[in-house]
C-alpha cells in the first residue's frame, strides 16, 4: 500500500539552472551538491524512495530536504519575481540547502584567552618555573589557570587549541 503523496517541488527555469550550476561547480561542498540533486530529482517527479535509493540516502533525509525546499519556495519565487540578481538568488538557494542551526551552548572561550593561551605555549616552560623542557597540555592548562587567563580548562581542550593553531604558528610544533 503506497504511503502519503510527497510534497510537490516545482522549480522555475532560473532555479533549475542555478541548481545545475551548483552541482557542476568544483568548489561546491558535496553536502550541497547532494541536496541540490535531491531537489532536482524531486522536481522531476521522483518519489522519496527512488531518490533515496539513487543517491544512497535515507528516505527521511529526502523527505526533510523536500520539506525545507517546499517551505522556502515561496520566498525564492518572490525574490525571483522582484528581480534579484542571479548571485543573490543562488545565495538564497544555498542557504536553504545549508545545515540548520543546531541547539547547544555556545563556546565558553573567546578569542582573547585563546590568543593568550597560544602566547603562553610559545614561551619556555622553564621561564614559568616549570620543571619540564616542553609544554604538555596538562602543564599548559595548569599554567593558564594559574595566571588567571581562564578559570578552568581541560588538558584535552588545550591540546585541541594548540593542535589547531600549529599550522599557523611554527614554534608550537614542539607540543606535538
Closest CA to 121 of 80, 88, 168, 74: 168
- The string of pLDDT tens digits covering residues 101-152 is 888 777 666 778 888 988 898 899 998 888 888 999 999 999 999 999 988 8
DSSP element (H, E) containing 116: helix 111-122
Its pTM stands at 0.60
Distance CA 66, CA 13 (A): 18
Quote the number of domains for the chain.
Answer: 2
Mark whether 115 and 92 lie in a shared domain: no
- The string of pLDDT tens digits covering residues 5-40 is 888 899 999 999 999 999 999 999 999 999 999 999
In a domain, 8, yes or no: no
In a domain, 45, yes or no: yes
In a domain, 154, yes or no: yes
Mark whether 64 and 129 lie in a shared domain: no
In a domain, 103, yes or no: no
Can you give the residue range of the structural domain that contains 140? 111-175
Domain boundary among 97, 123, 145: 97
In a domain, 22, yes or no: yes
Rounded to the nearest angstrom, the gap between the alpha carbon of residue 36 and the centroid of all alpha carbons in its chain is 17
In a domain, 163, yes or no: yes
Amino acid at each position: 500500500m503506497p504511503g502519503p503523496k510527497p510534497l510537490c517541488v516545482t522549480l522555475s527555469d532560473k532555479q533549475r539552472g542555478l541548481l545545475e550550476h551548483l552541482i557542476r561547480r568544483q568548489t561546491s561542498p558535496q553536502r550541497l551538491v547532494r541536496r541540490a540533486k535531491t531537489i532536482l530529482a524531486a522536481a522531476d517527479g521522483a518519489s522519496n524512495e527512488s531518490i533515496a535509493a539513487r543517491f544512497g540516502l535515507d528516505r527521511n533525509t529526502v523527505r526533510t530536504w523536500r520539506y525545507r525546499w517546499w517551505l522556502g519556495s515561496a520566498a525564492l519565487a518572490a525574490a525571483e519575481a522582484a528581480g534579484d540578481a542571479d548571485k543573490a538568488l543562488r545565495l538564497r538557494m544555498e542557504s536553504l540547502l545549508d545545515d540548520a542551526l543546531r541547539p547547544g551552548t555556545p563556546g565558553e572561550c573567546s578569542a582573547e584567552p585563546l590568543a593568550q593561551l597560544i602566547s603562553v605555549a610559545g614561551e619556555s616552560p622553564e621561564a614559568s618555573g616549570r620543571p619540564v623542557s616542553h609544554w604538555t597540555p596538562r602543564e599548559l592548562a595548569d599554567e593558564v589557570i594559574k595566571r588567571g587567563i581562564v578559570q578552568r580548562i581541560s588538558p584535552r581542550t588545550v591540546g585541541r587549541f594548540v593542535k589547531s593553531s600549529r599550522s599557523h604558528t611554527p614554534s608550537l610544533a614542539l607540543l606535538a
